[in-house]
Amino acid sequence: MTNQPNQWIERYTYAVTRQLPEAQRADIDKELRGLIEDLLEARTQDRAATDEDVQAVLVELGDPESMADKYRGHRRYLIGPELYPTFVTVVKIVLGAIAIAMTVVFVIQTLLTPARVVDNLLTALTNLLQGGVQGFAWVTISFGLTEYFRTREGKDAVKLAPAWKVSHLPELPEKELRITRADPIASIILAVLFTVALTFALDLFGIWVFLHDRPGMAVPFLNAAVFKPYLPFVWAVAALGILHEIAKLIARRWSLRLLALNTLVDVVNFALSLALFSNPAIWNPDFMAQMAQSGLVPAETEAFRTMSALWGQFTSYFVYLIGLGFGVGLITRLVRAVRIRRGSSAAGIPQVF
């Protein structure tokens, strides 16, 4: 029986200190034990402490969770109450987009191969589950990181914040710098749709042929075997892109920091696209043969020759299209950066989101 009261004390101090930084644990543990013994002594005077005494004292000290919170000075969150509503919105958008994408993939595959409807349905359900788990995980990770850096920044800000002046009041955002809610939401949906399609139905990126007298057929642009090893990179880029859209959804206006993240996303995207499309093997080598087979452009016809030439040009110039897209993005960002600088030089402080 003598061991029992001590065990409660052990368990209590452990419950408090395990949540605290390693460096403070031993000291706080010692302090708490001293406190508990003092409280016990005050309670029992000279008689020996019983199990009930110990329990009463510990109840008086209260929930070890909140005790640890007080020692820490702030509560810990994976996703704090400020970010949580946005988190819920984004989870809904992402899961909704995944569900829509999987349904679309299923419908199209069933149109192309009506005989395999049961097979397709089972695959679709499995993919839906996998995609949902993946989507949820990535969104949670993104928000967790955002929360982590926000709290860390908040701590520094207390020390570093310069004296506030009226001129520090943020400029009313120029119309061009505002971000509507619809923009990031649409981008997230598109990113999810695109990623789901690339992952589960690469064939859909191609030409779909439905002729009266034959079964439907999709002629894919890309070579699945060459593309497949790149998939993890596609997911990583999509996750980074969604993180950026979440940042936009929270900030709701362009800032230099947001532009920096935007640049990072674009550069990574650009690098991946270059890596993919500078390799000629990425294109479906049998594209023209399959086109002919589909019946849309029978071999040896004028249409077939025109199509062949077009396909050759398309595949060899595609890299330049990617470069063009990147360039346009670069110019847009420069224009925004200049706008932000103009706005913030008036206020004399750098913009932070």
Q: Which is nearer to another protein, 24 or 278 (CB)?
A: 24
Structure tokens at 202: 């690469």
d(CA 314, CA 321): 9
User: Which of 73, 229, 232, 348 contacts another protein by CB under 8 A?
Assistant: 73
Site for another protein contains 10 (CB under 8 A): no
Site for another protein contains 232 (CB under 8 A): no
Name the E strands within the chain: 206-209, 217-220
- Tell me the chain's radius of gyration from C-alpha atoms: 30
Site for another protein contains 8 (CB under 8 A): no
Which residues in the 33-72 window bind another protein by CB under 8 A? 33-35, 37-39, 42, 61-62, 66-67, 70-71
d(CA 143, CA 188): 14
User: Which of 13, 17, 32, 93 contacts another protein by CB under 8 A?
Assistant: 32
Q: What's the length of the chain? A: 353
d(CA 97, CA 192): 6
Q: Write down the least CB distance from residue 28 to another protein, Å.
A: 8
Q: Which is nearer to another protein, 31 or 183 (CB)?
A: 31
Report helix, strand or coil for 218: strand
Q: Write down the least CB distance from residue 17 to another protein, Å.
A: 12
Report helix, strand or coil for 178: strand
Site for another protein contains 160 (CB under 8 A): no
The site that binds another protein (CB under 8 A) totals a number of residues, namely 19
Q: Write down the least CB distance from residue 72 to another protein, Å.
A: 8
Q: Which is nearer to another protein, 30 or 178 (CB)?
A: 30
Nearest to 242 by CA among 336, 327, 156, 138: 138
Q: Write down the least CB distance from residue 67 to another protein, Å.
A: 5
Q: Write down the least CB distance from residue 1 to another protein, Å.
A: 22
DSSP letter for 208, please: E
Largest CA distance in the chain: 109
Report helix, strand or coil for 261: helix
Q: Write down the least CB distance from residue 172 to another protein, Å.
A: 34
Site residues for another protein per CB under 8 A:
27-28, 30-35, 37-39, 42, 61-62, 66-67, 70-71, 73
